[in-house]
Amino acid sequence: MRSNVPVVADLGAIIETLDARGRLVRVRSEVDPAHQLASIAAQFEGRPQALLFEKVRGSRWPVFIGLYWSRELLADLLGRPERSLPQHVASCIRNWQQRPVDPVVAPRGPVLEVTEKEVDLTALPVPTHADRDGGPYFDAAVVIARDPDSGVRNASIQRFMVVARDRLAINIDAGRHLEAYLAKAARRGEPLPFTLNVGVGPGLHFAAATPAEAAPIDTDELGIASELDGAPLQLVPGTTSPVEMAAQAMFALECEMVPGEVHPEGPFAEVTGYYATVAPRPLVRVKRIHRRRQPVFHTILSGVEVFNSVGLLGEANVLALLQRQVPGVKDVYFTHGGCGFYHAVVQMSPTRAGWSRQALMAAFAAFPPLKMVTVVDDDVDIRDPSDVEWAMATRLDPVHGILTVDKVFGHGLNPSFPNYLGAKVGFDATRPFPYTPLHDRARVRPVSLDGVDLVIPQPVKQPQ
């Protein structure tokens, strides 16, 4: 089954590849999926290696984590230079926008190898991550749904709390396409079927994380996975509804939401570093569970893994839109201090006075969760926080270079946007245009160390 599918489209093949390249840490001891698993994983966060928990208490299946917590790891897997990832993702999205490659639906696929006789979510190794989390969470599974009116497919990632053997509660942020679908289902007086696909490759994961600004509601964003994978995404038909499942997923849950049915959901330690609050949120009925014969449960650690999913996609999209609208834009980076998607640093070489401020406004318009945007010249390393601060310290005019916009829609998980409403701030840290030598950056001449006779001692540490 696997032979005609690219490695990056199959999590099983990805895990084998990481293992062969010395990029898979195996946790052999039995671990508790409640808290212990995430605590161990947190100690490896950011390393260019992922983790496989081979024995998870109470379940037959292993747990995989860490695919997205290092861009070095991701770049190595995708065979691209690390810094070109946003450009690469942006060009895949652009190709999809111009000539979408539709997914292929085949009658069988690995995810249909086993269909469980009964739905029992407690048999799955679903981890409970942070101390105050309200329960075990699916936090990396891809939702596939269909617009109840038009039939267009949508992909997204939402967090799901396990609330019973066959029930989940879902968090759908304001403005998501799934929210619009649920409202349409309510108007039609129908339930909304969807599938929850656990254990997919980065192609489908990134397609699901592609923001609505790049993949509007009338488009089938599953085709983005085909671009990233380099081959059409494979689906299998649903068995309880017309909604398909990812053929290569490790597990696929066929689910439905009945409009109006809710259940308390939360708390959950979010990407922001804060707990999401408990509130009544849509209840999900799980109708059937399919899986591979030897599945691995995929989860992510809330934090850098999300910065590199939502953040990377946001970055790619802001870069693509800015390059279309603002001359001189070179690169965009979403900082980690900004939770991966609240602070964009834009690098540009302005062609006229005023374009840097135009870039500020365009960046806010391109990605609504942004709260801060900083624009710098092309002699500043946007991935180095000290260099960005240097530009602010020496080039920002606090009277004319700061733009604030009050009472604007933002990201609901950000505590400075209660009820999705708050203020945003842009910093123009570019040099005044036209440039004068006053703002030339002093540099030593680049000289190669080749052929320079050097004696470099190891410093001897003195006892304290």
The interface with ligand FMN within residues 137-156 (CB under 6 A) comprises: 139-140, 154, 156
Residues in binding contact with Mn ion, number by CB under 5 A: 3
> Minimal distance in Å, beta carbon 411 to Mn ion?
17
Rule CB under 5 A: say whether 154 interacts with Mn ion: yes
Pairing of strands 50-56, 24-31: parallel
**Among ligand FMN, Mn ion, none, residue 159 binds (CB under 5-8 Å by kind):** ligand FMN
Rule CB under 5 A: is residue 146 a binding residue for Mn ion? no
What residues contact residue 391 under an 8 Å CB cut-off, 6+ apart?
Answer: 374, 376, 377, 380, 429, 430
User: Using CB under 5 A, which of 177, 205, 290, 357 touches Mn ion?
Assistant: 177
Which residues contact residue 273 at a Cβ distance below 8 angstroms, ignoring those fewer than 6 apart? 303, 339
Min. distance of Cβ 216 from ligand FMN in angstroms? 9
The answer to whether 300 contacts ligand FMN (rule: CB under 6 A) is: yes
Q: Which residue number, 215 or 329, has a Cβ lying nearer to Mn ion? A: 215
Shortest Å, Cβ 462 to Mn ion:
60
In angstroms and rounded to an integer, the radius of gyration of the C-alpha atoms of the chain is 23
The mark string for 309-348 relative to ligand FMN (x by CB under 6 A, - otherwise) is: xx--------------------------------------
Q: Look at residue 171 and give the partner it binds from Mn ion, ligand FMN, none, a contact being a CB closer than 5 to 8 Å depending on partner kind.
A: ligand FMN
Member of 157, 225, 296, 396 binding ligand FMN (CB under 6 A): 157
Number of residues near ligand FMN (by CB under 6 A):
22
Long-range contacts of 176-183 (CB under 8 A, 24+ apart): 176/212, 177/145, 177/212, 177/217, 178/143, 178/145, 178/154, 180/217, 181/145, 181/146, 181/147, 181/148, 181/154, 182/257, 182/259, 182/282, 183/259
Q: Give me the DSSP letters along 238-250.
A: -SSSS--EETT-S
Phi-psi sector, 310: left (phi>0), alpha (psi -120 to 50), beta: alpha
Burial 175-197 (b: 16+ CB within 10 A, else e): ebbbebbbebbbeeeebbbbbbb
- Judged by phi (left if over 0) then psi (alpha if -120 to 50, else beta), residue 420 lies in left
Binding residue for ligand FMN (CB under 6 A) from 129, 146, 153, 159?
159
Q: Which stretch binds Mn ion (CB under 5 A): 176-184, 304-312, 350-358, 360-368?
A: 176-184
Does position 269 interact with ligand FMN (CB under 6 A)? The reply is no
CB of 177 to Mn ion, least distance (A): 4
Helix (H, G, I), strand (E, B) or coil at 116: coil
61 and 296 Cβ atoms separated by less than 8 Å: yes
210 binds, among ligand FMN, Mn ion, none (CB under 5 to 8 A by kind): ligand FMN
Q: Answer with the entry of ligand FMN, Mn ion, none that 304 interacts with (C-beta below 5 to 8 A by kind).
A: none
Count the alpha carbons within 13 Å of 97 in the hemisphere toward its beta carbon: 15
Question: Which residue stretch of 170-178, 231-239, 352-360, 451-459 sits at the interface with ligand FMN (rule: CB under 6 A)?
Answer: 170-178
Which parts of this chain interact with ligand FMN (CB under 6 A)? 139-140, 154, 156-159, 171-173, 176-178, 208-212, 300, 306, 309-310
